[in-house]
Amino acid sequence: MIKRVLMLVVGSFVMMACGPGAKIDGKQGAADALFAASQPTKAKADASSTPVDLTGGIDFKCPQGGNAAINGAGISIGGGGVATSFSLKYENCGLAKADVGVAIYNGEMKFSQSVLTSGATVSVDQSFVGKVLVQGAFDDFIDVDVRQSVAVGDLGASGTGVSVVLKGTIKTSQDTFTFDETVSVVAGQISAKIQTSR
């Protein structure tokens, strides 16, 4: 009986030492987490740039498991391209990795995007608003009100460096970060901060 109790106590201390899941690490991590969250939008950007499908729904299979559902809410066609607005719902959607494991997204954001074509170049200007939990190996969230500009092809990239222009704010459990700059991210990865209990 004493041996069993001792094993339970030791097991509890081991679990406490691990602490909760990792946190998104600073401003860079916030940019990484947003870019990962935007990955499912490539399906709509590709469809809108043709244009073949502007407002229908799309189910996106997340690279690390789970799904994201995109449902169209509106459309605007202007001189610069096609603008569409959507609801993006994440369901156990594994979108990025860190040294600590997979980042799994749950929640919903609203986003709008304009697909701009110039010769052979296709870019997308996106605005995101909403709060999404970042779980799995993480215990954090992103609460965003931000605009992102990026080449459409980079949205589907994995493991490569990508340059994005961010304007607005991204809040995590650690802080609120304000962007008005070009940021370099590695597609499919998030900077993580390991939390240790005291």
DSSP 158-185: -SSEEEEEEEEEEE-SS-EEEEEEEEEE
Judged against a pLDDT cut of 60, whether residue 87 lies above it is answered with yes
> Within a domain: residue 174?
yes
Judged against a pLDDT cut of 60, whether residue 70 lies above it is answered with yes
Q: Which residue has the higher pLDDT, 122 or 91?
A: 91
Q: What is the DSSP letter of 138?
A: B
Judged against a pLDDT cut of 70, whether residue 4 lies above it is answered with no
> Within a domain: residue 2?
no
Judged against a pLDDT cut of 80, whether residue 67 lies above it is answered with yes
Q: What is the DSSP letter of 191?
A: -
Average pLDDT over residues 36-61: 68
**Among candidates 123, 117, 170, 131, which has minimal Cα distance to 150?**
123
Residue 80: per-residue pLDDT = 53
How many distinct structural domains can be found in the chain?
Answer: 1
Side chain identity at residue 82, one-letter code: V
> Within a domain: residue 91?
yes
> Within a domain: residue 13?
no
Which element (helix H / strand E) includes 108?
A: strand 101-118
Judged against a pLDDT cut of 80, whether residue 95 lies above it is answered with yes
Please tell me the total number of residues recorded for the chain in this structure.
Answer: 198
Could you give the 3-state DSSP secondary structure of residue 114?
A: strand
Q: Which residue has the higher pLDDT, 179 or 1?
A: 179
Least confident of 68-72, 78-82, 139-143: 78-82
> Within a domain: residue 76?
yes
> Within a domain: residue 4?
no
> Within a domain: residue 95?
yes
Could you give the 3-state DSSP secondary structure of residue 118?
A: strand
Question: Do 45 and 54 contact (CB within 8 A), yes or no?
Answer: no
125-158 pLDDT, tens digit each: 999 999 999 999 999 999 999 999 998 888 877 7
Residue span of the structural domain in which 132 resides = 20-193
> Within a domain: residue 7?
no
Residue 42: per-residue pLDDT = 78
